[in-house]
């Protein structure tokens, strides 16, 4: 940005000591360029503040190298990992993913959408604030759109979501693998489909193993530590024979651990505790560190990018695609 005359591809090639063709390949992320050469070219491009005529290049290739991520996530907790996964899949030196936050406000979302479209983004990723269906941003948009985390309410749209039923099954499978049999389930707000899906998966896996849920019922409540604490107190008052709690979120799990400790029970010796979300700040800092089911948000982002990239050359699919969760074991469920 400091050069008086804008640097050209020739300047970059000269500084990197490679041919113009090689510099071009390296900058466009094509194969057949060694990692070292690529690094040299990128460094040269950076030193010269080389900025290809992006619009012109976009017109030629039919692409502008910019994808919009439209979110309503107030904390960035969901959208930043999805953004990172998408950018990694595109290649960060080929496509910038730009995030706009609509905060759940339709007017603001419309404004951001117009801004992104007027800048001729190549595609859009729409991330909801909660995993329930959200309003479609519309058909007939000039670019392909993929919904991630929250599905679109229009079945003609393509949505990528975490498979919460499979996540519930995974949780129970892990707890039984470490020898637990009397497993209770404390989860969040019953207005969230994800709460029911996780509980459904948990029941499926228990049934497959000839087990029943401990504590008679699923404890639905709120996505909070406070609910984890009070539900655990209720549970212990009525059913002292539990040896594990599957919590519907890491926040709930933190409350569960607190209440177990207050009742003189040790985790995992007396009761194993498993969370959901694998939110590092809560899970890794817990005492003991909390095992948790991870929704693979970066993978959602990566697959969203792949679907968009495929749509640049052809057709975008439709419907809801479920992606698997994974289990991250820590001490709270150690055998």
CB-nearer residue toward a second copy: 3 or 207: 3
Residue 238: C-alpha distances to residues 185, 212, 318 (Å): 14, 16, 47
- Strand (E) or helix (H) holding 251: helix 250-262
Q: Does 60 bind a second copy (CB under 8 A)?
A: no
**Binding flag, residue 316, a second copy (CB under 8 A):** no
- Report how far apart, in Å, the C-alpha atoms of 181 and of each of 177, 239, 250, 254 are: 10, 14, 21, 21
* Shortest reach from residue 326's CB to a second copy, in Å: 20
Confirm or reject binding of residue 100 to a second copy (CB under 8 A).
Answer: yes
Cα separation, 119 vs 108, whole angstroms: 17
Question: Does residue 265 bind a second copy (CB under 8 A)?
Answer: no
Tokens of 100: 């706009």
Q: Which stretch binds a second copy (CB under 8 A): 178-186, 196-204, 254-262, 311-319?
A: 254-262
Q: Which of 22, 26, 72, 87 binds a second copy (CB under 8 A)?
A: 87
The only residue of 92, 207, 208, 310 in contact with a second copy, by rule CB under 8 A: 92
Give 46 or 270: the residue with its C-beta nearer to a second copy: 46
Binding map of a second copy across residues 9-48, x = CB under 8 A, - = no contact? ---------------------------------xx-xx--
| CA torsion through residues 176, 179, 183, 186, sign | negative
- Looking at 15, 16, 89, 113, which residue binds a second copy (CB under 8 A)? 113
- Verify binding: residue 119, a second copy, rule CB under 8 A: yes
**DSSP tag of 331:** G
Closest approach, Cβ 42 to a second copy, in A, equals 5
Choice between 1 and 241, CB closer to a second copy: 1
Beta strand segments in 33-165, E: 66-71, 96-101, 123-127, 145-148, 158-162
In angstroms, the Cα distances linking 182 to 27, 197, 241 are 57, 20, 7
In the set 19, 21, 110, 155, which binds a second copy (CB under 8 A)?
A: 110
Task: Confirm or reject binding of residue 277 to a second copy (CB under 8 A).
Answer: no
Cα-only R_g, the chain: 24
Question: DSSP label at 169?
Answer: H
């Amino acid at each position: 940005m400091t050069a008086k005359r804008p640097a050209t591809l020739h300047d970059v090639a000269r500084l990197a000591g490679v041919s113009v063709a090689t510099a071009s390949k390296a900058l466009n992320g094509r194969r057949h360029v060694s990692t070292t050469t690529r690094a040299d070219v990128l460094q040269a491009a950076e030193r010269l503040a080389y900025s290809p005529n992006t619009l012109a290049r976009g017109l030629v290739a039919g692409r502008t190298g910019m994808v919009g991520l439209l979110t309503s996530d107030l904390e960035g907790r969901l959208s930043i990992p999805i953004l990172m996964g998408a950018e990694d899949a595109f290649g960060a030196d080929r496509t910038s993913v730009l995030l706009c936050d609509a905060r759940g406000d339709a007017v603001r979302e419309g404004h951001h959408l117009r801004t992104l479209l007027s800048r001729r983004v190549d595609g859009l990723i729409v991330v909801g604030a909660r995993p329930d269906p959200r309003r479609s941003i519309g058909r007939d948009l000039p670019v392909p759109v993929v919904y991630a985390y929250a599905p679109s309410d229009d079945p003609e749209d393509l949505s990528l979501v975490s498979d919460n039923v499979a996540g519930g099954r995974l949780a129970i499978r892990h707890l039984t693998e470490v020898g637990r049999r009397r497993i209770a389930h404390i989860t969040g707000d019953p207005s969230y489909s994800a709460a029911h899906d996780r509980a459904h998966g948990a029941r499926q896996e228990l049934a497959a193993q000839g087990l029943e849920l401990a504590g008679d019922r699923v404890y639905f409540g709120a996505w909070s530590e406070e609910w984890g604490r009070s539900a655990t107190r209720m549970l212990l008052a009525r059913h002292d024979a539990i040896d594990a709690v599957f919590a519907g979120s890491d926040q709930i799990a933190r409350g569960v651990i607190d209440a177990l400790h207050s009742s003189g029970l040790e985790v995992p010796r007396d009761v194993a505790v498993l969370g959901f979300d694998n939110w590092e700040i809560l899970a890794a800092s817990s005492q003991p560190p909390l095992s948790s089911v991870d929704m693979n948000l970066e993978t959602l982002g990566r697959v969203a990018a792949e679907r968009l990239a495929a749509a640049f050359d052809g057709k975008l699919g439709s419907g809801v695609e479920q992606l698997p969760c994974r289990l991250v074991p820590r001490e709270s469920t150690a055998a």
